[in-house]
Amino acid sequence: MSRIGKRAVAVPSGVTANVEGQTVKVKGPKGALSLVLDENLSAKLEGSALKIEKRNESARAKSMWGTSRTLVNNLMTGVTKGFERKLEITGVGYRAAVQGKNLQLALGYSHDVTYSIPEGIAIATPKPTEIVISGTDRKKVGQVAAEIREYRPPEPYKGKGVKYEGEYIFRKEGKKK
């Protein structure tokens, strides 16, 4: 039995949650999010907590139970605190700057890379070598960070490229004479 799925998701003060069929809708100070649950699961509001329950004992219901509970918890966290992901840029002449609705990246190519910032995401560059991505939807924040990192992933010889904050790059030894 899922240890995560058994626990109810607490609805913080200032957040309104409602269940309409298979859809869980959450509204808070930072915005509104919704999630459609798997057909083998159901959600019900009990006081100030949201409980996810299995409708049957199928393998699909068991596997989605804990996952769905975590996704609902991410909705609650997103509308109250939000999510943030930081990227670091390493390399001579590599830098980033936000210009309007675009992120300009100089990553050693013959041209600057322009990344269009999606709706619901805020990107800041406190330093030219640091990118801070924030938003209410955890999935979207992670996806944007992965897309930006994909333009120049860190290479193992000099460590140049775009990496997540705190990411360890396994370094290789270069050629020997």
What is the mean pLDDT of each successive set of 10 residues along the chain, which is 177 residues long?
85 91 92 93 90 92 92 94 96 94 95 95 96 96 96 94 94 88
Q: Where are the domains of the chain?
A: 3-80, 83-164
**111, 151 Cβ separation under 8 angstroms:** no
Judge whether 3-80 and 83-164 match in fold.
yes
Q: Identify the three-state secondary structure at position 116.
A: strand
Q: Identify the three-state secondary structure at position 37.
A: coil
**50, 24 Cβ separation under 8 angstroms:** yes
Closest listed residue to residue 171, CA positions, set 109, 95, 86, 90? 90
pLDDT given at position 5 = 87
- What CATH homologous superfamily does 3-80 map to? Ribosomal protein L6 (3.90.930.12)
pLDDT given at position 1 = 63
pLDDT given at position 177 = 79
Look up the CATH architecture of domain 83-164.
Answer: Alpha-Beta Complex (3.90)
pLDDT given at position 3 = 85
pLDDT given at position 175 = 87
